[in-house]
Structure 1
Amino acid sequence: MKIIGITGGIGSGKTTVCQIFETLGIPIYQADERAKYLMQNDKELIKKIIALFGSEAYNQGVLNRPFIAKTIFSDPKKTEQINALVHPAVGKDFKKWQSSQDAPYVIKEAALIIESNSYKQLDFLINVFASIETRIQRVQKRDPQRSLEEINGIIDKQVSEESRNELSDVIINNNGDQLLIPQVLSIHNQLIN
Protein backbone atom coordinates (compact mmCIF):
# COMPACT_ATOMS: atom_id res chain seq x y z
CA MET A 1 0.00 0.00 0.00
CA LYS A 2 1.44 3.34 -1.06
CA ILE A 3 1.70 6.18 1.45
CA ILE A 4 0.96 9.56 -0.07
CA GLY A 5 1.68 12.77 1.78
CA ILE A 6 -0.25 16.00 1.41
CA THR A 7 1.37 19.14 2.69
CA GLY A 8 1.08 22.88 2.19
CA GLY A 9 1.33 26.05 4.18
CA ILE A 10 -1.36 27.20 6.59
CA GLY A 11 -4.46 28.19 4.62
CA SER A 12 -3.35 26.48 1.40
CA GLY A 13 -6.39 24.19 1.29
CA LYS A 14 -4.97 20.80 2.33
CA THR A 15 -8.23 19.84 4.04
CA THR A 16 -10.32 20.65 0.95
CA VAL A 17 -8.01 18.58 -1.26
CA CYS A 18 -8.20 15.69 1.23
CA GLN A 19 -12.01 15.85 1.18
CA ILE A 20 -11.90 15.32 -2.60
CA PHE A 21 -9.61 12.30 -2.21
CA GLU A 22 -11.94 10.99 0.51
CA THR A 23 -14.90 11.08 -1.90
CA LEU A 24 -12.80 8.79 -4.12
CA GLY A 25 -12.65 6.26 -1.26
CA ILE A 26 -9.12 7.08 -0.14
CA PRO A 27 -8.50 6.92 3.64
CA ILE A 28 -7.06 10.13 5.11
CA TYR A 29 -4.89 10.32 8.22
CA GLN A 30 -4.95 13.86 9.55
CA ALA A 31 -1.67 14.07 11.43
CA ASP A 32 -2.34 17.47 13.01
CA GLU A 33 -5.71 16.34 14.43
CA ARG A 34 -4.22 13.07 15.66
CA ALA A 35 -1.36 15.01 17.32
CA LYS A 36 -3.96 17.05 19.25
CA TYR A 37 -5.77 13.84 20.23
CA LEU A 38 -2.56 12.13 21.36
CA MET A 39 -1.43 15.17 23.37
CA GLN A 40 -4.72 14.86 25.23
CA ASN A 41 -5.03 11.07 25.52
CA ASP A 42 -1.63 9.31 25.26
CA LYS A 43 -0.53 8.92 28.90
CA GLU A 44 3.14 8.47 28.04
CA LEU A 45 3.16 11.58 25.82
CA ILE A 46 1.30 13.61 28.48
CA LYS A 47 4.00 12.72 31.06
CA LYS A 48 6.72 13.88 28.66
CA ILE A 49 4.89 17.15 27.92
CA ILE A 50 4.51 17.88 31.64
CA ALA A 51 8.22 17.10 32.15
CA LEU A 52 9.06 19.61 29.38
CA PHE A 53 6.62 22.44 30.21
CA GLY A 54 5.77 21.87 33.86
CA SER A 55 2.39 21.27 35.51
CA GLU A 56 0.94 24.38 33.80
CA ALA A 57 0.87 22.39 30.52
CA TYR A 58 -2.44 20.83 31.60
CA ASN A 59 -5.42 22.40 33.44
CA GLN A 60 -7.49 19.75 35.23
CA GLY A 61 -6.32 17.12 32.75
CA VAL A 62 -6.93 19.29 29.67
CA LEU A 63 -4.01 20.45 27.50
CA ASN A 64 -3.42 24.16 28.13
CA ARG A 65 -3.10 25.16 24.46
CA PRO A 66 -2.74 28.92 25.02
CA PHE A 67 0.11 28.35 27.50
CA ILE A 68 1.89 25.88 25.18
CA ALA A 69 1.40 28.14 22.14
CA LYS A 70 2.71 31.20 23.99
CA THR A 71 5.72 29.27 25.30
CA ILE A 72 6.76 27.78 21.95
CA PHE A 73 6.03 31.04 20.11
CA SER A 74 8.63 32.82 22.26
CA ASP A 75 11.15 29.96 22.47
CA PRO A 76 12.11 28.14 19.23
CA LYS A 77 14.04 25.53 21.27
CA LYS A 78 10.77 24.54 23.00
CA THR A 79 9.16 24.14 19.56
CA GLU A 80 11.91 21.67 18.59
CA GLN A 81 11.56 19.85 21.92
CA ILE A 82 7.79 19.39 21.74
CA ASN A 83 8.04 18.32 18.09
CA ALA A 84 10.64 15.72 19.15
CA LEU A 85 8.01 14.31 21.53
CA VAL A 86 4.89 14.57 19.38
CA HIS A 87 6.20 13.52 15.92
CA PRO A 88 7.33 10.02 17.00
CA ALA A 89 4.00 9.45 18.80
CA VAL A 90 2.13 10.47 15.63
CA GLY A 91 4.38 8.22 13.51
CA LYS A 92 3.57 5.22 15.71
CA ASP A 93 -0.15 6.07 15.63
CA PHE A 94 -0.05 6.38 11.82
CA LYS A 95 1.54 2.93 11.39
CA LYS A 96 -1.19 1.37 13.55
CA TRP A 97 -3.92 3.22 11.57
CA GLN A 98 -2.37 2.30 8.21
CA SER A 99 -2.32 -1.41 9.05
CA SER A 100 -6.12 -1.35 9.40
CA GLN A 101 -6.76 0.27 5.99
CA ASP A 102 -7.74 -1.46 2.77
CA ALA A 103 -7.17 0.84 -0.22
CA PRO A 104 -4.71 1.17 -3.12
CA TYR A 105 -3.07 4.00 -1.16
CA VAL A 106 -3.57 6.08 1.97
CA ILE A 107 -3.00 9.77 2.50
CA LYS A 108 -1.17 11.34 5.41
CA GLU A 109 -2.08 15.00 5.64
CA ALA A 110 0.25 17.17 7.72
CA ALA A 111 1.40 20.77 7.65
CA LEU A 112 4.87 19.79 8.91
CA ILE A 113 5.61 16.72 6.77
CA ILE A 114 8.86 18.28 5.55
CA GLU A 115 9.85 19.93 8.83
CA SER A 116 9.40 16.62 10.71
CA ASN A 117 11.32 14.70 7.99
CA SER A 118 8.38 12.28 7.74
CA TYR A 119 8.27 12.95 3.97
CA LYS A 120 11.21 10.53 3.76
CA GLN A 121 8.86 7.63 4.63
CA LEU A 122 6.40 8.52 1.85
CA ASP A 123 6.05 7.02 -1.61
CA PHE A 124 4.74 10.27 -3.10
CA LEU A 125 4.35 13.86 -1.87
CA ILE A 126 1.71 16.39 -2.95
CA ASN A 127 2.09 20.08 -2.16
CA VAL A 128 -1.07 22.20 -2.11
CA PHE A 129 0.01 25.63 -3.28
CA ALA A 130 -1.64 29.00 -2.75
CA SER A 131 -0.04 32.44 -2.58
CA ILE A 132 0.74 33.87 0.86
CA GLU A 133 -1.88 36.61 0.35
CA THR A 134 -4.57 34.01 -0.46
CA ARG A 135 -3.52 31.85 2.49
CA ILE A 136 -3.64 34.78 4.94
CA GLN A 137 -7.14 35.76 3.71
CA ARG A 138 -8.37 32.17 4.13
CA VAL A 139 -6.97 31.85 7.65
CA GLN A 140 -8.44 35.22 8.69
CA LYS A 141 -11.84 34.10 7.39
CA ARG A 142 -11.58 30.62 8.98
CA ASP A 143 -10.00 31.71 12.30
CA PRO A 144 -11.05 35.34 12.90
CA GLN A 145 -9.57 35.21 16.42
CA ARG A 146 -6.03 34.85 15.01
CA SER A 147 -4.08 38.06 14.61
CA LEU A 148 -2.14 38.84 11.44
CA GLU A 149 1.03 38.70 13.57
CA GLU A 150 0.16 35.17 14.73
CA ILE A 151 -0.62 34.00 11.17
CA ASN A 152 2.65 35.46 9.87
CA GLY A 153 4.48 33.82 12.79
CA ILE A 154 3.08 30.42 11.75
CA ILE A 155 4.01 31.04 8.10
CA ASP A 156 7.56 32.04 9.14
CA LYS A 157 7.95 28.81 11.13
CA GLN A 158 6.87 26.65 8.18
CA VAL A 159 9.28 25.57 5.46
CA SER A 160 9.38 27.83 2.39
CA GLU A 161 7.09 27.26 -0.58
CA GLU A 162 10.19 26.75 -2.75
CA SER A 163 11.39 23.90 -0.49
CA ARG A 164 7.94 22.30 -0.46
CA ASN A 165 7.72 22.49 -4.26
CA GLU A 166 11.24 21.11 -4.69
CA LEU A 167 10.58 18.05 -2.50
CA SER A 168 7.09 17.35 -3.87
CA ASP A 169 6.28 14.93 -6.66
CA VAL A 170 3.33 17.05 -7.77
CA ILE A 171 1.90 20.48 -6.95
CA ILE A 172 -1.82 21.20 -6.74
CA ASN A 173 -2.61 24.82 -7.57
CA ASN A 174 -5.24 26.04 -5.12
CA ASN A 175 -4.85 29.75 -5.75
CA GLY A 176 -8.41 29.95 -7.06
CA ASP A 177 -7.49 30.17 -10.74
CA GLN A 178 -7.62 26.41 -11.48
CA LEU A 179 -10.29 23.82 -10.68
CA LEU A 180 -9.29 21.44 -7.89
CA ILE A 181 -11.29 18.33 -8.80
CA PRO A 182 -9.61 17.73 -12.21
CA GLN A 183 -6.17 18.14 -10.59
CA VAL A 184 -7.03 15.62 -7.85
CA LEU A 185 -8.57 13.14 -10.33
CA SER A 186 -5.43 13.29 -12.48
CA ILE A 187 -3.21 12.51 -9.48
CA HIS A 188 -5.59 9.76 -8.28
CA ASN A 189 -5.48 8.08 -11.71
CA GLN A 190 -1.70 8.34 -11.74
CA LEU A 191 -1.50 6.70 -8.28
CA ILE A 192 -3.82 3.77 -8.98
CA ASN A 193 -2.28 2.94 -12.41
Structure 2
Amino acid sequence: MVCRLFECLDVPVYYADSRAKWLTNHDPGIREKVTALLGPEAYAEGFYNTKYVASRVFDNEPLLKELNAIIHPVVMRDTKSWVAQNEGIPYVLKEAAIMGKAGEANAVDYVVVVEAPVDLRIQRILQRDNRTEQEIRAIIERQVSDEHRREIGDYFVQNDDDSELIPQVLHLHDTFRNAGSSRN
Protein backbone atom coordinates (compact mmCIF):
# COMPACT_ATOMS: atom_id res chain seq x y z
CA MET A 1 0.00 0.00 0.00
CA VAL A 2 2.81 2.41 0.88
CA CYS A 3 4.51 1.79 -2.45
CA ARG A 4 1.25 2.30 -4.32
CA LEU A 5 0.89 5.68 -2.65
CA PHE A 6 4.38 6.63 -3.82
CA GLU A 7 3.46 5.48 -7.32
CA CYS A 8 0.48 7.88 -7.21
CA LEU A 9 3.13 10.59 -6.75
CA ASP A 10 4.88 9.35 -9.95
CA VAL A 11 7.72 7.73 -8.02
CA PRO A 12 9.01 4.59 -9.77
CA VAL A 13 9.04 1.51 -7.52
CA TYR A 14 11.16 -1.60 -8.03
CA TYR A 15 9.33 -4.54 -6.44
CA ALA A 16 12.26 -6.82 -5.62
CA ASP A 17 10.26 -9.88 -4.55
CA SER A 18 7.95 -9.96 -7.56
CA ARG A 19 10.85 -9.17 -9.89
CA ALA A 20 12.87 -12.01 -8.30
CA LYS A 21 9.96 -14.37 -8.97
CA TRP A 22 9.82 -13.21 -12.59
CA LEU A 23 13.56 -13.61 -13.03
CA THR A 24 13.48 -17.05 -11.40
CA ASN A 25 11.00 -18.13 -14.06
CA HIS A 26 12.57 -16.35 -17.04
CA ASP A 27 16.33 -16.08 -16.53
CA PRO A 28 17.96 -19.16 -18.10
CA GLY A 29 21.01 -18.92 -15.83
CA ILE A 30 18.89 -19.02 -12.68
CA ARG A 31 16.77 -21.86 -14.05
CA GLU A 32 19.85 -23.93 -14.92
CA LYS A 33 21.55 -23.40 -11.54
CA VAL A 34 18.38 -23.93 -9.47
CA THR A 35 17.65 -27.15 -11.37
CA ALA A 36 21.22 -28.33 -10.76
CA LEU A 37 20.87 -27.50 -7.05
CA LEU A 38 17.37 -28.84 -6.36
CA GLY A 39 16.58 -31.15 -9.28
CA PRO A 40 14.05 -30.95 -12.11
CA GLU A 41 11.16 -30.79 -9.63
CA ALA A 42 12.18 -27.18 -8.95
CA TYR A 43 10.35 -26.28 -12.17
CA ALA A 44 6.95 -27.93 -12.55
CA GLU A 45 5.35 -27.60 -15.97
CA GLY A 46 7.94 -25.01 -16.94
CA PHE A 47 7.41 -22.72 -13.94
CA TYR A 48 9.26 -22.31 -10.66
CA ASN A 49 7.73 -24.73 -8.18
CA THR A 50 7.59 -22.52 -5.10
CA LYS A 51 6.00 -25.15 -2.84
CA TYR A 52 8.57 -27.77 -3.71
CA VAL A 53 11.50 -25.38 -3.34
CA ALA A 54 10.16 -24.06 -0.03
CA SER A 55 9.77 -27.61 1.28
CA ARG A 56 13.43 -28.28 0.45
CA VAL A 57 14.99 -25.10 1.83
CA PHE A 58 12.68 -23.96 4.64
CA ASP A 59 14.50 -25.92 7.37
CA ASN A 60 17.81 -26.28 5.53
CA GLU A 61 19.81 -23.09 6.05
CA PRO A 62 22.86 -24.15 3.95
CA LEU A 63 20.62 -25.06 1.00
CA LEU A 64 18.70 -21.79 1.37
CA LYS A 65 21.99 -19.88 1.30
CA GLU A 66 23.00 -21.67 -1.90
CA LEU A 67 19.64 -20.84 -3.48
CA ASN A 68 19.94 -17.18 -2.43
CA ALA A 69 23.49 -17.08 -3.84
CA ILE A 70 22.00 -18.01 -7.21
CA ILE A 71 19.06 -15.61 -7.24
CA HIS A 72 20.20 -12.52 -5.29
CA PRO A 73 23.11 -11.47 -7.55
CA VAL A 74 20.84 -11.57 -10.59
CA VAL A 75 18.23 -9.48 -8.79
CA MET A 76 20.93 -6.98 -7.75
CA ARG A 77 22.11 -6.62 -11.37
CA ASP A 78 18.52 -6.22 -12.49
CA THR A 79 17.97 -3.56 -9.80
CA LYS A 80 21.04 -1.61 -10.93
CA SER A 81 19.87 -1.75 -14.53
CA TRP A 82 16.40 -0.52 -13.51
CA VAL A 83 17.88 2.34 -11.47
CA ALA A 84 20.01 3.37 -14.47
CA GLN A 85 16.88 3.39 -16.65
CA ASN A 86 15.31 5.83 -14.18
CA GLU A 87 18.30 8.19 -14.05
CA GLY A 88 17.28 11.82 -13.84
CA ILE A 89 14.27 11.15 -11.63
CA PRO A 90 14.62 12.82 -8.20
CA TYR A 91 14.41 9.46 -6.42
CA VAL A 92 13.18 5.90 -6.83
CA LEU A 93 12.08 3.25 -4.35
CA LYS A 94 13.07 -0.38 -3.99
CA GLU A 95 10.50 -2.48 -2.17
CA ALA A 96 12.08 -5.54 -0.57
CA ALA A 97 11.25 -7.88 2.28
CA ILE A 98 14.93 -8.51 2.99
CA MET A 99 17.09 -5.44 3.43
CA GLY A 100 20.29 -4.45 5.11
CA LYS A 101 21.25 -1.07 6.47
CA ALA A 102 21.58 1.70 3.87
CA GLY A 103 24.91 1.44 2.12
CA GLU A 104 25.49 -2.18 3.14
CA ALA A 105 25.66 -3.90 -0.25
CA ASN A 106 22.12 -2.90 -1.13
CA ALA A 107 22.82 0.33 -3.04
CA VAL A 108 20.18 2.40 -1.27
CA ASP A 109 20.53 5.76 0.43
CA TYR A 110 17.82 5.22 3.04
CA VAL A 111 15.78 2.36 4.45
CA VAL A 112 12.11 2.96 5.16
CA VAL A 113 10.60 0.38 7.48
CA VAL A 114 6.85 -0.12 7.26
CA GLU A 115 5.60 -1.36 10.61
CA ALA A 116 2.41 -3.09 11.67
CA PRO A 117 1.57 -5.24 14.69
CA VAL A 118 2.19 -8.97 14.12
CA ASP A 119 -1.46 -9.93 14.57
CA LEU A 120 -2.53 -7.37 11.98
CA ARG A 121 0.16 -8.60 9.55
CA ILE A 122 -1.10 -12.16 10.01
CA GLN A 123 -4.69 -11.08 9.42
CA ARG A 124 -3.70 -9.26 6.21
CA ILE A 125 -1.68 -12.23 4.92
CA LEU A 126 -4.57 -14.60 5.65
CA GLN A 127 -6.79 -12.40 3.49
CA ARG A 128 -4.19 -12.12 0.70
CA ASP A 129 -2.48 -15.51 0.51
CA ASN A 130 -3.56 -19.11 0.51
CA ARG A 131 -1.68 -19.95 3.73
CA THR A 132 -2.62 -21.13 7.18
CA GLU A 133 -1.94 -19.04 10.26
CA GLN A 134 0.59 -21.67 11.36
CA GLU A 135 2.49 -21.33 8.05
CA ILE A 136 2.47 -17.54 8.33
CA ARG A 137 3.76 -17.60 11.91
CA ALA A 138 6.56 -20.02 10.90
CA ILE A 139 7.60 -17.65 8.11
CA ILE A 140 7.52 -14.63 10.44
CA GLU A 141 9.67 -16.52 12.96
CA ARG A 142 12.36 -17.05 10.29
CA GLN A 143 12.38 -13.41 9.21
CA VAL A 144 14.48 -10.72 10.81
CA SER A 145 13.00 -9.36 14.00
CA ASP A 146 11.13 -6.09 14.34
CA GLU A 147 14.01 -4.92 16.53
CA HIS A 148 16.48 -5.57 13.72
CA ARG A 149 14.27 -3.66 11.28
CA ARG A 150 14.24 -0.71 13.67
CA GLU A 151 18.04 -0.83 13.88
CA ILE A 152 18.48 -0.65 10.09
CA GLY A 153 15.66 1.81 9.43
CA ASP A 154 16.27 5.45 8.67
CA TYR A 155 12.55 6.28 8.42
CA PHE A 156 9.45 4.52 9.71
CA VAL A 157 5.87 4.32 8.46
CA GLN A 158 3.15 3.06 10.75
CA ASN A 159 0.73 0.92 8.74
CA ASP A 160 -1.66 -0.03 11.47
CA ASP A 161 -5.36 0.64 11.77
CA ASP A 162 -4.79 3.87 13.74
CA SER A 163 -2.25 5.79 11.64
CA GLU A 164 -2.98 7.63 8.41
CA LEU A 165 -0.65 6.56 5.62
CA ILE A 166 -1.03 9.47 3.21
CA PRO A 167 0.46 12.17 5.48
CA GLN A 168 3.40 9.88 6.33
CA VAL A 169 4.08 9.17 2.65
CA LEU A 170 3.78 12.84 1.69
CA HIS A 171 6.28 13.76 4.41
CA LEU A 172 8.75 11.15 3.11
CA HIS A 173 8.16 12.28 -0.47
CA ASP A 174 9.10 15.85 0.45
CA THR A 175 12.10 14.61 2.45
CA PHE A 176 13.44 12.49 -0.42
CA ARG A 177 12.84 15.14 -3.08
CA ASN A 178 14.72 17.68 -0.97
CA ALA A 179 17.56 15.23 -0.29
CA GLY A 180 17.83 14.48 -4.01
CA SER A 181 17.96 18.15 -5.01
CA SER A 182 20.60 18.93 -2.38
CA ARG A 183 22.93 16.31 -3.95
CA ASN A 184 22.74 17.87 -7.43
Please give the TM-score of this superposition, normalised by the length of structure 1.
Answer: 0.86
Give the length in aligned residue pairs. 176
SS in 2 for 1:140: helix
Which structure carries more relative contact order (alpha carbon 8 Å, separation 6+)? 1
Q: Quick check: 1:20 aligned with 2:16?
A: no
> In the alignment, is the contact (CA less than 8 A) between 1:113 and 1:119 conserved in 2?
no
CA shift at 1:77, angstroms? Answer: 2.0
Pick the structure with more strand per residue: 1
Q: Distance in 1 between matches of 2:145 and 2:105?
A: 15
> In the alignment, is the contact (CA less than 8 A) between 1:127 and 1:164 conserved in 2?
yes
1:139 to 117, 125, 137: 125
Structure 1: which 5+ residue stretches go unaligned?
1-15
Letter in 2 for 1:123: D
CA shift at 1:76, angstroms? Answer: 2.2
Letter in 2 for 1:124: Y
Letter in 1 for 2:112: I
* Structure with bigger gyration radius: 2
SS in 2 for 1:122: coil
SS in 2 for 1:178: coil
Letter in 2 for 1:163: H
Q: Distance in 2 between matches of 1:119 and 1:24?
A: 28
> In the alignment, is the contact (CA less than 8 A) between 1:28 and 1:109 conserved in 2?
yes
CA shift at 1:58, angstroms? Answer: 1.1
Letter in 2 for 1:33: S
Structure 2: which 5+ residue stretches go unaligned?
179-184
Please give the TM-score of this superposition, normalised by the length of structure 2.
Answer: 0.90
Letter in 2 for 1:93: D
Counterpart of 1:128 in structure 2 is 114
Q: Quick check: 1:43 aligned with 2:28?
A: yes
Q: Distance in 1 between matches of 2:169 and 2:105?
A: 20
CA shift at 1:153, angstroms? Answer: 1.4
CA shift at 1:93, angstroms? Answer: 0.5
Q: Quick check: 1:178 aligned with 2:163?
A: yes
Task: State the identity %.
Answer: 40
